[in-house]
Amino acid sequence: MNNMIELGNVGEIENGAMKEIDVGGREILLARVDNQYYATDNRCPHMGGKLSQGRLEGTVITCPKHSSQFDLKNGDVVRWLKGSGILSAVGKALKSPRRIATYNVNIQDDKIMIEV
């Protein structure tokens, strides 16, 4: 059985914005895009960069450390590391692409809830 966790109230986060929320020691990224809410793990699976400090363009979040990109809709990798050359090749060889975990978001009585 899944637990429902409250992340906040509808309207607390502006459209096109995101924020980090601590849920019992787990860092969750909450984003609002086109009035839809998305929740994912807040740490990049490459080297743990805080995605909430990255750049949000549509539903694609870019990690602030090495510019890996993920789709908030499903956690899929859009781009794994940015760049070329030997350092990029080594980085890609050491860590293969991994998606980020996503959480189902439900709105209940103007409360933003996720299933964990």
When pLDDT is cut at 50, 70 and 90, the band that residue 82 belongs to is confident
Considering the entire predicted model, what is its pTM? 0.87
Using one digit for the tens of pLDDT, what is the confidence trace for 84-95? 666 555 655 666
Q: Which domain holds residue 94?
A: 4-115
pLDDT score, position 47? 87
Using one digit for the tens of pLDDT, what is the confidence trace for 33-67? 999 999 999 999 988 999 999 999 999 999 999 89
First vs last Cα of the chain: how many Å apart? Answer: 9
Helix (H, G, I), strand (E, B) or coil at 42: coil
More confident residue, 27 or 115: 27
Contact 27, 62 (CB under 8 A): no
Number of domains in the chain: 1
* Cα angle 22, 3, 43; round to 5: 35
Q: Which of 89, 85, 49 is nearest to 66 (CA)?
A: 49
Q: Cβ neighbours of residue 65 under 8 Å, at least 6 residues apart? A: 44, 46, 47, 48, 49
Say which CATH number the domain at 107 has.
2.102.10.10
